Amino acid sequence: METNNNYLESVKKQFLYYKTLGEKAMEQLEPEQLFISTNDDTNSIAVIVKHISGNMLSRWTDFLTSDGEKEWRNRDDEFESTIETKEELLQLWNKGWDCLFNAINPLTDEQLTTIIYIRNEGHTVMEAINRQLAHYPYHIGQIVFYAKMLKNTNWNSLSIPKNKSNSYNADKFSKEKSIKNFTDDELNRLT
């Protein structure tokens, strides 16, 4: 099952890529900017991180053996601003990501079709992974967008910089064709 193994490796790389994007966006801000909310309907970056982490801890704890919506999860509290420092924020961020990677790293190809439950709804392991691979980048995109707005100037681009598409493409097409995950080059560029 070479294809599934490639799937698992690709998923791990993509999760790491989006984790890194979120971190690189947050690194560009002053600590107090992480807690800014522009109105009652907007979550601060800190609140978004709290939600992502809460979701990860619920979904990935005992991933194969218990419902992904844990009884101990208080989702509504995830949207309350209770984090007070950047250090606390990053600790929560890493706790969620550690839980995710501890759950997916040991997965095998054979487990991809195993049925797990989220809110009593059955998903294959692959479907559950895909669900979260859509959910977390959605929120990380919010973090990046919000960080760019808050930073306002001197933003270090996390993707192809503005007006640099031609040189980026020229570099890509100057190399031999290869088969690899897009995140391989992107993670190197970000770090």
Residue 75 is encoded by which pair of tokens? 């989702």
| pTM, rounded to two decimals | 0.90
The CB density around residue 46, as the number of other CB atoms within 10 Å, is 26
Give residue 1's pLDDT: 40
Question: Half-sphere exposure (CA, 13 Å, Cβ side) for 115?
Answer: 4
Which of the two residues, 184 and 116, has the higher pLDDT score? 116
DSSP state of 177: P
Note the pLDDT tens digit of each residue in 72-103: 999 999 999 999 999 999 999 999 999 999 99
The domains of the chain, with CATH numbers, are 2-157 (1.20.120.450)
- pLDDT higher than 80, residue 142: yes
Please classify residue 127 by burial: count the beta carbons closer than 10 Å to its beta carbon, then call 0-12 exposed, 13-18 middle and 19+ buried.
middle
Give residue 2's pLDDT: 46
**Range 152-162 average pLDDT:** 84
Judge whether 147 and 26 are in contact, CB under 8 Å: yes
Residue 166 is encoded by which pair of tokens? 């031609």
- pLDDT higher than 60, residue 58: yes
